[in-house]
Amino acid sequence: MPRYISIASNRYISLSVAHLKRTASDFTGWFLVLCLLFLFMRCMEIAYGRLLHGRLTAWWEVWLTGIVKDISFLLTAAAWAYPAYYFISLGSGRLARRLFTTGAAILCGVHLVLSEYFLTTLTMLGADLWIYSSRDIWQTISAAGIKWPIIPAILLTVTVASWCLVKLPPRLRTGPLTGIGLVALFIICEAAGLAAITHTWRSDSSEYGNSLSNNKSWFFYKQSIDYFFPAPADTDLYTDSHMADYINDPATWSTAAFQYPDEERYPFLHLDETPDVLSPFLRKGSSPPNIVLVIVEGLGSAYSGRSAYLGSFTPFLDSLSRHSLYWENFLSQSGRTFAALPVLLASLPFGKTGFTELDSRMPPHLSMLSLLKRQGYHTAFYYGGDATFDNMTGFLERNAIDEILDITAFPGEYRKLPAGNQGLCWGYGDKELFHFYFSTLPATGPYCHVLLTVASHEPFLVHNQESYLARVEQRISAPGFAAARRAAARNFKKQYASILYVDDALQYFFHTYAQRPDFHNTIFIITGDHRMPEIPMRDKLDRYHVPLIIYAPLLLRSARFSAISTHFDVAPSMLQLLKNQYGLQIPSLAAWVGSGLDTGYTFTNRHAYPLMQNKHYMIDFIQGDHMMIGNDLYRIQPGMSLEPVQDKHKLAQLRRGFERFRKKNRQMLDGASLLPDSIYQRYYPR
C-alpha cells in the first residue's frame, strides 16, 4: 500500500474516532437531560393520576417500575437517535444539534399527550390512531371534549424541554470514554429488547396501576411500527404437518369440536350442531316472536348485577335479571364497540381491524338480521349517534337491513345530550332513543330490531346530571356499600351517574313496552358492548366482562347461569330456538365462530375463543378455565378474576388454539369464502 494512502487512512480513522468521542460526549449530555425530563413527567403523571383516580395501594412500586420503563424506552430511542445524530453532524454539527433539540422537545410533548389520553380514558393509545378514519377520530375527540388546559400545558412542556435541552447538556456532558460507553449501552439495550422486557413487568395487582407504570410513548411507537411494518406471517406454523398434530384435538379449539367439510376453501364453515338450550325456558307462542336486541354502551359487570365487585349502579336491571335468563359470567368479544354488531348478530371473525372495516371486501355471510328478514321479519337498527362510525352502516346494509335510524333521523323536538367543551356530543340520549323508537315501531310483527345506546360514553354528560350525581352519592353512602370503596367511587361519579341514567332509560323502555299488545310476544336481549374502561379495571378480563339478560313474557321460569359464554354464542342459540319452535329455515352448514350459549349452573367454560381489545390488539384468548394474554397465562377464577399461573404445557395448548383461529382469520383475509354461493344465495333475502 502506498505510504500516502496509509497516512490518509490513519488520518481518517483518527478523525472518525475524534468525531465519535465528541458526538458521544455531546449526545449523552442530551440523553441525561431527557432522562430528567421524563422523570419529571413521570412524577406529574403519578400525581395527576392520584388526583383523578385516587391513591394506589402500591403507588411506590408503580412509580419505581415506571421510572425503569421510562429509562428503558429512552435507552432504546437513543440507540436509534445517536447514529442519525452522528452522521448528520458530519455535515453540520449545528444542524444536528437543532434537529435533535427539536425532536427531543416534540418527543416530550407527544409523551404528555399520550399520558393525558391514558389518564382520561384509562386506555393506552396505540395503532388505533391509524386505523380509525379522520372523521371517526374527530367525532370521538369532539364529543369527549378537548381539555383546553392541556394545550398550554403541552406548549409549556415543549418550551421548557427546549430550554433544558439547550442550556443543560453542556453542564451534564460526560467524558469521551464515558460517552462511548453509554452509546455502547444504548446498542446493547436495544439488541436485548430491554424496553419490551420491562414493559411486561407488573407493578401492581390492578390493571390500572400496571398500565399507569407503563411508558405510554414506547407502547404507541411500538404498536405504530408493528402496524406500518408488520412482521412476516409465521407460515411455517400452519403447514399441514404441523397442524396435523392437533387439528382434530378439541382442546385446541373448542369442546364443541366443529366438523369442517372443506377447511381450505371455507375455513369457518362447519356443520351447525348448536344445541337448542333456550327452548326449555321459553314457551312457544302462537306466532314467531319479535326479537329486540339492546346493546348498552359501556355496561360492565363490575358495576352492574348482583355480583358487581364495585357495587351495582343498575337497580332496575338487577331487578329485571331476577325474572330473566341471566348469564353472570358473560364476555364481550372486544374492548370497543367495533365488534359488537358483527359478533352478536352473525358470530363473525374479526378480520384484521374488525369485520366492519373490511367494507366492500366483506365476504358474503348470513346473520340473524338477513335470515329473519328472508322469512318475513322487519329489520331495523336504532342509534342515537352517527351510524357511519366504525362503518356500522356498511355492515348493516350488507345484511339487507330494512331501516337504519340514527342521528340524522331524529325530529327537531328531540334533545341531544349535553354538549362537551367543543359544543359537540355523541348524539341523542338513551331516553330520547327509546322514545323515538316507540314513535316509529310498527304495530304488528314479526320484527328484529337492534338498539345501540350512547349516553354512557365519554364525556358522561346526561340531562338532569345533578340529580344523578346526587343519586350516586346516596348509593355509595348507603350502609350496604363497602366503606373501603367509597373514596374511590367518588372519583368516578360522572361515569356512575351515566350508568344510573341508562338504567332509568331501560326502566322507561320496558314499562312503555309493557303497554303494547306485542310485548307479550317479544324476546328482549340486553348486553353491554364492553366494560367502561374509564373506571379502573381489576385485570384484562374485566374489560370484556358484561352481563347478558334474556327477558320475555314467554319465559317459563327465570334462571341464573354461572357457565361462561360470549357474544359469539348469542346468534347461533337464538336461531336454533326459532328453528325448533317456529320452523325458521336456516342452513345446516354455518360459519359461526360461536358454538352456542351455555346454560350450566356451575362455573365452567366449554368454549375457546379469541378476544380483541381494540382494532390492533388481538392477543387475548380464552380456553376452558385459562386465559392467554400475549405470552402470559392466567387461570380464570369464579367471579371472573385472573390468577397468574406457570404451566408451559397449558400455555402451548392455548397458543395452538389461538394460532388455529388466526390461520382461519388470515385465510378469510386472503380471499377464502365464509359460505358457498349456493347457501348464501338460497338464504340471503331477495
pLDDT tens digits for range 261-294: 999 999 999 999 999 999 999 999 999 999 999 9
Q: Which residue is it, cell 370484556?
A: 544
Q: Is the pLDDT of residue 242 over 50?
A: no
Closest of 612, 686, 613, 610 to residue 654, by C-alpha: 610
Could you read off the pLDDT of 554-582 as tens digits, one per residue?
A: 999 999 999 999 999 999 999 999 999 99
The C-alpha atoms of residue 78 and residue 587 are separated, in whole angstroms, by 59
Instruction: Report the pLDDT value the prediction gives residue 484, as an integer from 0 to 100.
Output: 79
Q: Residues 552, 557, 563, 569: is their CA dihedral positive or negative? A: negative
The C-alpha atoms of residue 567 and residue 637 are separated, in whole angstroms, by 20
Could you read off the pLDDT of 410-431 as tens digits, one per residue?
A: 999 999 999 876 667 889 999 9
The C-alpha atoms of residue 275 and residue 595 are separated, in whole angstroms, by 8
Please list, in sequence order, all residues whose beta carbon lies within 8 angstroms of the beta carbon of residue 455, skipping any fewer than 6 positions away: 297, 384, 417, 426, 429, 430, 462, 498, 501, 502, 505
The C-alpha atoms of residue 535 and residue 121 are separated, in whole angstroms, by 8
- In single-letter form, the type of residue at position 424 comes to L
Q: Mean pLDDT lowest for which of 243-247, 324-328, 526-530?
A: 243-247
pLDDT-based confidence at 161, cuts 50/70/90? confident
Q: Which grid coordinates belong to 447?
A: 320484527
Percent of the chain at pLDDT above 90?
Answer: 68
Q: Is the pLDDT of residue 12 over 50?
A: no
Q: How many CB atoms lie within 10 A of CB 598?
A: 22
Instruction: Report the pLDDT value the prediction gives residue 145, as an integer from 0 to 100.
Output: 56
Q: Which residue is it, cell 449501552?
A: 185
Residue 451 pairs in a beta bridge with 294, 382
Closest of 528, 498, 518 to residue 305, by C-alpha: 528
Average pLDDT over residues 621-639: 95
Q: Is the pLDDT of residue 631 over 80?
A: yes
Helix (H, G, I), strand (E, B) or coil at 605: coil
The C-alpha atoms of residue 595 and residue 591 are separated, in whole angstroms, by 10
Could you read off the pLDDT of 465-513 as tens digits, one per residue?
A: 999 999 999 999 998 888 878 888 999 999 999 999 999 999 999 999 9
The C-alpha atoms of residue 293 and residue 295 are separated, in whole angstroms, by 6
Q: Is the pLDDT of residue 148 over 80?
A: no
Q: Is the pLDDT of residue 198 over 80?
A: yes
Instruction: Report the pLDDT value the prediction gives residue 149, as an integer from 0 to 100.
Output: 66
Instruction: Report the pLDDT value the prediction gives residue 205, as an integer from 0 to 100.
Output: 66
Average pLDDT over residues 123-142: 78
Q: Is the pLDDT of residue 673 over 50?
A: yes
Average pLDDT over residues 530-555: 95
Q: Is the pLDDT of residue 342 over 90?
A: yes
**Domains of the chain, each with CATH number or no CATH:** 3-228 (no CATH), 250-683 (3.40.720.10)
Closest of 439, 437, 418 to residue 427, by C-alpha: 418
Phi, psi of 677 (to 5 degrees): -55, -35
- In single-letter form, the type of residue at position 334 comes to S
Q: Which grid coordinates belong to 416?
A: 341531544
Question: How far is Cα of residue 510 from the mean position of the Cα atoms in its chain?
Answer: 30
The C-alpha atoms of residue 101 and residue 460 are separated, in whole angstroms, by 40
The C-alpha atoms of residue 180 and residue 341 are separated, in whole angstroms, by 56
Q: Are 367 and 399 in contact (CB under 8 A)?
A: yes
Average pLDDT over residues 313-336: 97
Q: Are 590 and 269 in contact (CB under 8 A)?
A: yes
Average pLDDT over residues 625-636: 94
Closest of 462, 459, 454 to residue 145, by C-alpha: 459
Q: Mean pLDDT lowest for which of 106-120, 167-181, 512-526?
A: 167-181
Question: How far is Cα of residue 84 from the mean position of the Cα atoms in its chain?
Answer: 36
Mean pLDDT, the chain, rounded, equals 89
The C-alpha atoms of residue 243 and residue 657 are separated, in whole angstroms, by 11
Percent of the chain at pLDDT above 70?
Answer: 91
Q: Are 416 and 438 in contact (CB under 8 A)?
A: no
Q: Is the pLDDT of residue 44 over 80?
A: yes
Instruction: Report the pLDDT value the prediction gives residue 4, as an integer from 0 to 100.
Output: 44
Instruction: Report the pLDDT value the prediction gives residue 72, as an integer from 0 to 100.
Output: 96
Helix (H, G, I), strand (E, B) or coil at 146: coil
Instruction: Report the pLDDT value the prediction gives residue 94, as an integer from 0 to 100.
Output: 87
Distances (CA, A) of 296 to 107, 301, 336, 388, 565: 38, 12, 12, 18, 18
Instruction: Report the pLDDT value the prediction gives residue 246, as an integer from 0 to 100.
Output: 35
Helix (H, G, I), strand (E, B) or coil at 419: coil
The C-alpha atoms of residue 44 and residue 67 are separated, in whole angstroms, by 12
